[in-house]
Amino acid sequence: MFPVVKYGDVLPDTGTPMSFGGRPTAGVRADGPQARFLTADTLADGTKIGVTTFRGKKSGFSGKVWAWAPPEYYEERYRDSAFPVLIALPGSYGYPLNYWMRPKLGLESAVTDLAALGRGKPFILVMPQLNPEKRYHDGSDIPGRPKIGTWLADDVPDLVRATFRTFDTRDGWAFMGSSSGGFVALKQVLQHPDRFRAVIASGPDTRPDSPLWRGHEKERRANDPERLAAHLSARPDAPPVHLQFQIGTEERGRARLEQFIRRYAKGPISADLHVIQGGGHNAKSYVRGMRDASLEAISKVLRGPTPKD
């Protein structure tokens, strides 16, 4: 089981109604369910983090989703452009909150700063609830349990497409996660390479180990990143994906991730490991790693917005 990622207190999800700059424009992907967002927080640059409670049409699961758009999203020169999406998953239980919505962790400012420097894409950040309770569901459709795998892979992207200007193609979509969320983010990209182009997986495990799998070995194996990677790496016709791992020097797991890369980084799978000097198993260390290398790494394989001429 995963150690707990330390991140401090989280903020309440109450506030006034808000919008992310109106309806998407013609020719840019915008379909699916509508949702009412409330302001969860306002950053120093005036951008807002919104939150909604959303019931997925395909999974039937109802949970919270936080979202943030970068400053460029509201600029006139990008009014008709799509933006890339980064679905950010927390460690620990990810219930009832997703701690990446907490601005003090610095994820939003990291995206803003790297985009301004030309080192990263101005990602829309989407931060869904990870589990339906304080038990690990491994981001999967475990029989007899809420369909969290479908919620993350289908319903949350549908909500994002209905709310924001997003790309139709998979090279505008990526996952990021830490600890247990890193496991889920990695698994989603390996399961759905036709939908997602890249992942940043920070301090993840690479095997499903929730006790909720008991009695469902076939399904557990179908949600095992090691098996998924072995299958995908043997498919020369599969769409390429990039796996960007992070690990701190003060945490365990580096040898396991290096072994994963040696085994599976071939064919359509490319992979890299960024080692965070002095970094521990915590969100702030992982944001530092994303600033130093990992956001730039995935930005190289993802599309960015196009300004008007």
Q: Containing domain of residue 281, as a range?
A: 45-299
Residue 101: CB atoms within 10 A of its CB come to 26
Residue 264: per-residue pLDDT: 98
> What backbone phi and psi angles, to 5 degrees, belong to 177?
-160, 155
Average pLDDT score, the chain:
92
Residue 1: per-residue pLDDT: 42
Residue 26: per-residue pLDDT: 39
Residue 308 lies in a domain: no
- Cβ neighbours for 117, distance < 8 A, ≥ 6 positions apart: none
Give the mean model confidence (pLDDT) for residues 72-83.
95
pLDDT digits (tens, 9 = 90+) for 183-207: 999 999 999 999 999 999 999 999 9
Residue 252 lies in a domain: yes
Residue 56: per-residue pLDDT: 95
Residue 14 lies in a domain: no
145 HSE (CA, 13 A, CB side): 24
Give the mean model confidence (pLDDT) for residues 77-95.
94
Residue 12: per-residue pLDDT: 46
Res 67 pLDDT > 90:
yes
The percentage of residues in the chain with a pLDDT greater than 70, rounded to a whole number, is 91
Residue 225 lies in a domain: yes
Instruction: Say which CATH number the domain at 185 has.
Output: 3.40.50.1820
Q: How confident is the model at residue 30 (pLDDT cuts 50, 70, 90)?
A: very low
Residue 36: per-residue pLDDT: 87
pLDDT digits (tens, 9 = 90+) for 161-184: 999 999 999 999 999 999 999 999
pLDDT digits (tens, 9 = 90+) for 38-63: 999 999 999 999 999 999 999 999 99
pLDDT digits (tens, 9 = 90+) for 259-279: 999 999 999 999 999 999 999
Res 5 pLDDT > 50:
no
Residue 165 lies in a domain: yes
Q: How confident is the model at residue 27 (pLDDT cuts 50, 70, 90)?
A: very low
Question: How far, in Å, are 116, 300, 301, 309 from residue 164 at the CA level?
Answer: 21, 22, 21, 22
Residue 309: CB atoms within 10 A of its CB come to 4
Residue 164 lies in a domain: yes
Residue 20 lies in a domain: no
The percentage of residues in the chain with a pLDDT greater than 90, rounded to a whole number, is 86
State the DSSP string of 27-90.
Answer: TSB--S----EEEEEE-TTS-EEEEEEEE-TTT--EEEEEEE--GGGGSGGGTT--B-EEEEE-
Structural domain count of the chain: 1
Higher pLDDT, 101 or 23: 101
Residue 93: per-residue pLDDT: 87
Residue 33: per-residue pLDDT: 54
Give pTM, 2 decimals. 0.93
Res 9 pLDDT > 60:
no
223 CB-contact burial (10 Å; exposed 0-12 / middle 13-18 / buried 19+): buried
Question: How far, in Å, are 13, 85, 207 from residue 53 at the CA level?
Answer: 10, 19, 30
Residue 218 lies in a domain: yes
